[in-house]
Structures are given as C-alpha cells and as structure tokens.
Structure 1
Amino acid sequence: MRTGRSWAWSFVAPALLILGLYLVYPTLATIYTSFLDRGSVHWVGLENYGYAFTSPAMLTAFRNNLLWLFLFTAATVGLGLMLAVLTDRVRYEAVAKSVIFLPMAVSFVGAGVVWKFVYAYNPPGASQIGLLNQIVVALGGQPVGWLLERPWMNNIALIVVGVWIWTGFAMVILSAAYKGIPRDLKEAARVDGAGEWQLFWRVSLPYIQSTLAVVTTTMLINVLKVFDIVYVMTNGNFGTEVVANRMYKEMFQFRNFGRASAVAVVLFLAIVPLMLLNIRRFRQQEVER
C-alpha cells in the first residue's frame, strides 16, 4: 500500500511543485509585498490598502468595474442566449455560429486596435477616418469623440468591444446546453398548448439554468480582470480606468510595488468568491451526472 502511494505521489509531485513555484509562491509574495512601501523595503501596514479604497483613481476604477460588471455580463449572456436559440432554427447554423464566434479568434489587443480605428475622431471639418464618425458625418451630424468625452459614453464604447468579443463564447456554450433539451419535453409542452414564448420561459430556460449560471459567473470573472481593451484603447484616461489597468500603472509606470500588490490582492479577493461558486456548480453537475 505504501509503495502504491509513493508511486502516486511521485507522479503528482512535479505538478504540485510547478503549481507551488508559479502560483502559490507568487500569491504569497504579492500579499507580503502589499504591506511594504513602494520599494518593497519598509513595512507600512495597511497604508497601501487605504490608498486602494480611498484614492480618487481607485474609486473611479471601482465604479467603472461595476459598470462593466453589470452591462458586460448582462449583454454577453443575454445576447449569447438569444443567438443560441435563434441560430438553432436557421438552415446555415454552422456558418452563422462561426461568424458570430469569429471575434474570439482575434487577440484582445488586436480587437482593441481595430475598434480604436472604428471610434477614431477628428475635429469637425477634418477628414474622418473612424467608421462611426464617417457614418455620423454622412448623415449630417457632427463627429463625436467616442473615447474622449463623457465618461459614461467612453466606458460603454469600451464595453461594446468586450461584448463583441465574448458573445460568441457565451452563445456556443449555451447553444450546446440548449440542444441538450429533450425533444420529447418540447413536444409535450406544445401538445399542452404552450406557445414558443411559454416554451422558452417554462421549459428551455429552467432546463439550462445550471449552464446559464456557469456562463454568467465565467463572464463575471473575466470582466473583473478586464485589462487589454482598456489599456490599448484609452490606457484608463478620460474616466475609463479599471482596477487591473490601475494595478499595471502602479507597478510599471509609477514603480510603486506596494500599492500595485495591494490592488492585485483586492482584485484577487473579488474574484475568489466567483471562482469558488463556479467550482461548486461544476461539482454539482458532476454529481447530477
């Protein structure tokens, strides 16, 4: 028995060592550094966490992350579910899904660059190179600084990019769950007089609710870590700062390792409950199977 266990540990040990070196140790080191000063020399206690929860820049980042949290999640999951149902009824389902899923094949940095050109702005009277402003000017309007004016407009413009990328992912997962609904169950509901709307709300939606919950929590985790789009398109300027981008600035731009580590710990603590919820749901699904 001991020999068998020794063999088992000999196979598991390399993976545990790698996880310890590249995951556990950096996490513990970051937590420790969050209590040190900008040069990681002197102990400053909770000073960095005070900055993380009181500074205007971080408060703006928290506000924007909450905006992303609600709008991005609702849009990706809602559109993904709608498209999963609609594409199930078209003849060229595979082609339609491929086109919708295509943005996932583009890197987030690449998508940010593309959409930065879409939102590009030049003053009135100048030639417009941005697609949206070309349309606005062609319709007789004035060009709009989509990423330069009004923080609510800036953030929504960035959220649109995230939705464009992630909706295809949500659609594919939800489509698989939707196709798993037994046809007999749908036919029985139709025989009982249920219309398509009632069929969706009373039969389809309850049947795929576990998958819907997993997709929702996955989107929440992704949006809490949003960085690439904001960094490429605005770098957090014009009222578009988010927590992950602020962490990057504190670390690499301001060279304040203590504050950057504190922001990283705050972000980590915000994500952990959602990760645990996702793991719990996966385990429940395994038990149900």
Structure 2
Amino acid sequence: MSTGEKLLQALLIIAIFFAVIAIILAATSRLHSRVGEIIQSAAFVLPASLLIGVGLLYPAINSIYLSFKDRYSNHFVGFDNYKTIFTDADLLRVLANTAVWVVVTPIVATAIGLVYAVLVDHARFEKTAKALIFLPMAISLVGASLIWKFVYDDRIGILNATTDALGLGRHHWLINSPWNTFWLIIILIWVQAGFAMTVLSASIKAIPNDIVEAARLDGVGGWRMFRYITVPSIRPTIIVVLTTITITTLKAFDIVRQTTGGNYKTSVLSYEYYRQSFQSANWGLGSALAVLIFVLVLPVVIYNIRQMRQLEAR
C-alpha cells in the first residue's frame, strides 16, 4: 500500500468518525426530556462500550479460555500450562527476572526522582535541571533501548571505551548473566526517573508553606526536613508513582526485545508471552502467561486507583 493510499484510508476513517458523531447528534438533538437525555447519553456511550468489549474484554476472556487448552488449542489440559510456568526451569528463570525488575525498577526510579526533585526545588536552574532528567520520557522505550544498546556495545560502546581507558578492560555487558538483567533495568530507570521527578516535584510544591515554616522555626532542616516533613506529606503521591512504574515494569517488552531478544537468560513475562505465542505458536502456554501478567497487574491497578481517589479527595 502506497503512502497516498494510506493517507486516503486515514482520511476516510476520520470522515466516518465525524459522520457517526453527526448522525448521533442529529438523531438526539430534539430529545429534551429526561428519557431523551438518557437516550442521548446511551447513543454516545454504547459505541465506546462496544469498542472496549471488542478490543479489551473479548481478548481477555479468550486468553483465559485458551490458557486451559493445549499447544494448538485443540484439547483442554486443565491447569497444565500454569503448572509448566511454575515448574519449567527456563520459565522459573523468567519469573525470577520479572521479580527483580518489579522490585528494583520502581524503588530506584522513584528514589532518584524524589531526591532529584528535592535537590533542584527552588534552585535558579530548576527548569533546566528538570528538563534534562525529563528528556528520556520523550523517547519511546524502543528508542531508549537502541541508544543504550550502543552504550553497551562490545566494540564501539561508550561504556567499554570508558572502562578500557580506566584500565578495567572490556566486558560483554548484555551477555553475562545475571548482571545483564541489571544493565537492562538501568534503561527503564533512566526513562522512568523523569516521570517520578515530575509528579513528586509537583507534590512537593503543594506542601503548605505553613507546615514548612513551622518546621524551620522548630529548628528542623536538611535531612530531618526531608524525613519528617517532605516524605510524610507526599506519601500518597510516592505510592502512586511506585505503583504506576510497577505496572510499566510488568510490561517491559520493548527493552528486552530490542537489546537481547530474550537471550542470555534475560527474558521476562511480557517477552516470554510474545515468544511462546508468536514465535513458538504455543497458544496455550502463551495465553497462560498473559493471564498471569493480568493477575499480577490487577491488584496494583486497583490499589493505584484507590490512592488516586484519596489524592483527589484531599
């Protein structure tokens, strides 16, 4: 398909969208009663609900269904796929890698963002400093992975050039396990630290001046101000940032795909799902991995929503 055909197709889709909206508005514009308002609301909500059902609910239900079937989705095998996940040596390594990602990335990224936000708060160069750490957020995970892949490159990588100049020799950063997992985690920390800094900085600036001034009058400053005033005041925001980065970490497919391709014992759940489903055509095991990711993400999402509601209520 040529570029012109793609552009024409995009314009056609946009035209259809506006035509549907116009039809809904024309059909419901004269409905002024209570029942009419309900009909008008339903006219807008139902198409969106239908798309959510087709795009989200049906795939989720179908994945759960396929997770109980064999490799080719021909026969039911019960919980065999889930048993494989927790007994197969390679998949246990995948679970261990995922656990390391989930523990290290949110904590380190949030800590860096918090410390950075506190250090540059009210500084003369605050805007420039924040812009520098936020810049990686403007890069997709694929782009960030490609950048760091060159950094870690055995021959032309800047990291090996630095260690070689310091007399520490050259190293295969992305090959040697288990340290290669931590080198990949650095990529996501580099991207997410800017997000953590931005959100936490806004929360720090929202701390009432009365509290800060009262603490200073009592002789509180430096580390004690950070520990007893800043952190307790922004605790709900810290939790929201931690949970949000945790959800992102559980979906860290792009980084593994672009750097190691899941080789050298670096695979994680999201990449293993892709490998089993689309490379090995093992739809049963792939679906079970997808369901496991959903089960791990769901409680974090629920907790995150509760924390955000508490923030809005304050």
TM-score range relative to shorter protein: over 0.9
Aligned to 1:217: 243
Find the counterpart in structure 2 of residue 206 from structure 1. 232
Asked if structure 2 preserves the Cα contact closer than 8 Å seen for 1:87 and 1:96, the reply is yes
1:140 aligns with 2:170: no
CA positional deviation for 1:200: 1.3
Q: Which residue of 1 aligns with 2:17?
A: none
TM-score (norm 1): 0.94
> Post-superposition, which runs of at least 4 consecutive aligned residues in structure 1 deviate over 4 A?
none
Question: 1:158 corresponds to which letter in structure 2?
Answer: L
Q: Secondary structure at the match of 1:54?
A: coil
Which amino acid is the alignment partner of residue 16 of structure 1? S
Q: Residue type of the partner of 2:157? A: G
1:229 to 2:255 alignment: yes
Task: Give the superposition deviation at 1:216.
Answer: 0.6
- Counterpart of 1:104, as a letter, is M
Counterparts of 1:137-216 in structure 2 under 5 Å? 137-149=164-176, 151-216=177-242
Secondary structure of residue in 2 paired with 1:20: helix
TM-aligned CA deviation for residue 136 of structure 1 = 1.3
The CA deviation at 1:40 is: 1.7
Q: Report deviation, 1:95.
A: 1.1
TM-score, structure 2 normalization = 0.87
Give aligned pairs, total.
281
Secondary structure of 2:86's match? helix
* Residue number in structure 2 paired with 1:279: 305
Q: Out of 34, 55, 61, which is 1:28 matched to?
A: 61
On the 8 A contact 1:76/1:167 being kept in 2, the answer is yes
What is the alpha-carbon distance in structure 1 between the residues aligned to residue 222 and residue 280 of structure 2? 57
Q: Does the residue aligned with 1:285 lie in a helix, a strand or coil?
A: helix
Can you give the 5+ residue segments of structure 1 that lack an aligned partner in the other structure? 122-127
Inter-partner Cα distance in structure 2 for 1:140 and 1:286 = 54
Aligned mates of 1:281, 1:161 — CA distance in 2: 27
In structure 2, C-alpha distance between the alignment counterparts of 1:7 and 1:19, rounded to whole Å:
19
Contact 1:57–1:241, Cα closer than 8 Å, also in 2: no
- 1:11 Cα offset (Å): 2.2
Q: Which residue number in structure 2 is paired with residue 125 of structure 1?
A: none
Aligned residue for 1:69? Answer: 102
Deviation at 1:141, TM superposition (A): 2.5
Structure of higher RCO (CA pairs closer than 8 Å, 6+ residues apart): 1
1:31, distance to aligned residue in structure 2 (A): 0.7
278-287 vs 94-103, which deviates more? 278-287
Structure 1 position 265 matched with structure 2 position 298: no
Counterpart CA distance in 2 for 1:185 and 1:255 is 59
2:275 and 2:127 map into 1 onto residues whose CA distance is 42
1:51-104 deviation per Cα after TM superposition (whole angstroms, max 9, x unaligned):
122111211111011111111111100000001111213212111111111011
Cα offsets for 1:1-26 (capped at 9, x unmatched): 43432332222111111111101111
1:4-83 superposed matches below 5 A: 4-83=37-116
For residue 152 of structure 1, report the CA deviation from its aligned partner.
2.5
Name 2:264's counterpart in structure 1: 238
Q: Is 2:138 the partner of 1:105?
A: yes
Of structures 1 and 2, the larger Rg is shown by 2
Percent of residue pairs identical: 43
Q: Which amino acid aligns with 2:146?
A: V
Q: Return the offset for 1:262.
A: 0.5
Per-residue deviation, 1:202: 1.2
Instruction: Report if aligned partners of 1:76, 1:170 keep a CA contact under 8 Å in 2.
Output: yes
1:89 equivalenced with 2:117 (yes/no) = no
Note the C-alpha offset of 1:27: 0.5
Pairwise CA RMSD = 1.2
Segment of structure 1 superposing worse, 43-52 or 22-31: 43-52
- Identify which range, 42-51 or 157-166, moves more after superposition: 42-51
User: 1:280 deviation in Å?
Assistant: 1.1
Comparing 2-11 with 67-76, which one deviates more in the overlay? Answer: 2-11
CA contact (8 A) 2:237 2:311 kept: no
Separation in 1 of the partners of 2:66 and 2:75? 10
